[in-house]
């Protein structure tokens, strides 16, 4: 057994002792979007800090707990707060929570984040369905001895974001009269925002949005065979496109502003999958 597998087993042993409902859908809530967890009923809460060996989020706007419960007739687990590579955790620790949610029983994963808009047609408040990602600027969470119990050594990444779920997401948005774009998400290490020259380069490479999370989690989830869907909330125009300096307060404020629209969309989407 690898070190990673041992760490997962230890954490899971603790979780399984208290977990009543086996979740089928996992949701990761990005910066400022944690309020969505309020919609979950019959909540069971597991604090990350109580789970042996678990990484704990240190970022303002990110709490640190799993919320397990019901959304309509579905058992869900939501992460209120994620951990990031820039906090100093190695990538295998950053993706430990997503792996744990798969081991709890979740087969589908909804990833959400706050992101900077690169595509010219985006503005603060735009929602973007992630249809592919670029992770070339961060290390792969799959580096190191392969965890054969989780997945294969060389996993395919040609369709990370599930086409059927993506279609359902678009159909749901249409039904609710919510505008949602499609695009490519590029992950950086953070914690600094980008320079205008970097954003120009990312645009040339085909990115529509940029952020400091998500793609590494999608990679680990894909390795484990989860069906993945992702939504970016464009909280600001990226550096150089924005006329003003970027800051985390603006990111949180825009995420707050979108949270109503975001919640309506995600609730209805979960109902349908
Ligand atoms: N860059 C990187 N990450 C982000 C941004 C951004 O402009 N906005 C929100 N998260």
Confidence of residue 37 (pLDDT cuts 50, 70, 90): confident
84 carries an active-site annotation: yes
Catalytic residue, chosen from 236, 238, 255, 268, is 236
User: Does residue 113's CB lie within 6 angstroms of at least one atom of ligand 1?
Assistant: no
Confidence of residue 138 (pLDDT cuts 50, 70, 90): very high
pLDDT digits (tens, 9 = 90+) for 237-263: 999 998 888 988 888 889 888 988 999
CATH T-level fold of 3-272: Rossmann fold (3.40.50)
Catalytic residue, chosen from 26, 213, 215, 220, is 213
149 carries an active-site annotation: no
CA distances from 115 to 129, 190, 230, 263 (A): 12, 12, 12, 17
Residues 6+ positions from 67 with CB-CB distance below 8 Å: 37, 40, 43, 44, 45, 77, 78, 80
pLDDT digits (tens, 9 = 90+) for 77-136: 999 988 999 999 999 999 999 999 999 999 999 999 999 999 999 999 999 999 999 999
Catalytic residue, chosen from 86, 146, 253, 259, is 86
- Ligand 1 closest atom vs CA 116: 7
User: Does residue 235's CB lie within 6 angstroms of at least one atom of ligand 1?
Assistant: yes
pLDDT digits (tens, 9 = 90+) for 226-236: 999 999 999 99
Q: What's the whole-number mean pLDDT along residues 57-70? A: 81
| DSSP run (H or E) holding 111 | strand 108-117
Provide, rounded to the nearest whole percent, the portion of the chain with pLDDT above 90: 82
- Determine the distance separating the centroid of ligand 1 and the alpha carbon of 152, expressed in angstroms: 32
How many alpha carbons lie under 13 Å from residue 55 in its C-beta half-sphere? Answer: 27
- Determine the distance separating the centroid of ligand 1 and the alpha carbon of 59, expressed in angstroms: 14
- Determine the distance separating the centroid of ligand 1 and the alpha carbon of 14, expressed in angstroms: 34
């Amino acid at each position: 057994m690898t070190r990673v597998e041992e760490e997962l087993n230890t954490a899971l042993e603790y979780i399984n002792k208290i977990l009543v409902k086996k979740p089928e859908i996992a949701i990761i809530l990005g910066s400022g979007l944690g309020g969505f967890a309020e919609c979950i009923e019959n909540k069971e809460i597991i604090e990350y800090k109580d789970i042996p060996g678990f990484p704990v989020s240190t970022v303002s706007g990110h709490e640190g707990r799993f919320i397990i419960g019901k959304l309509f007739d579905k058992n869900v687990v939501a992460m209120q707060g994620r951990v990031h590579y820039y906090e100093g955790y190695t990538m295998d620790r950053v993706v430990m929570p997503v792996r744990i949610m798969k081991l709890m029983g979740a087969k589908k994963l909804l990833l959400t984040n706050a992101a900077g808009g690169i595509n010219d047609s985006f503005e603060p408040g735009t929602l973007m369905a992630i249809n592919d990602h670029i992770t070339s600027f961060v290390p792969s969470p799959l580096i190191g001895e392969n965890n054969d119990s989780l997945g294969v050594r060389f996993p395919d990444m040609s369709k990370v974001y599930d086409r059927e779920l993506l279609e359902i997401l678009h159909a749901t948005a249409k039904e609710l009269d919510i505008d949602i774009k499609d695009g490519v998400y590029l992950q950086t290490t953070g914690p600094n925002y980008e320079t205008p020259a970097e954003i120009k380069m990312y645009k040339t490479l085909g990115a529509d949005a940029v952020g400091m999370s998500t793609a590494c989690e999608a990679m680990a989830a894909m390795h484990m065979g989860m069906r993945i869907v992702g939504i970016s909330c464009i909280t600001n125009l990226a550096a150089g496109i924005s006329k003003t300096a970027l800051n985390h307060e603006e990111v949180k404020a825009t995420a707050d502003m979108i949270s109503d629209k975001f919640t309506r969309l995600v609730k209805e989407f979960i109902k349908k999958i």
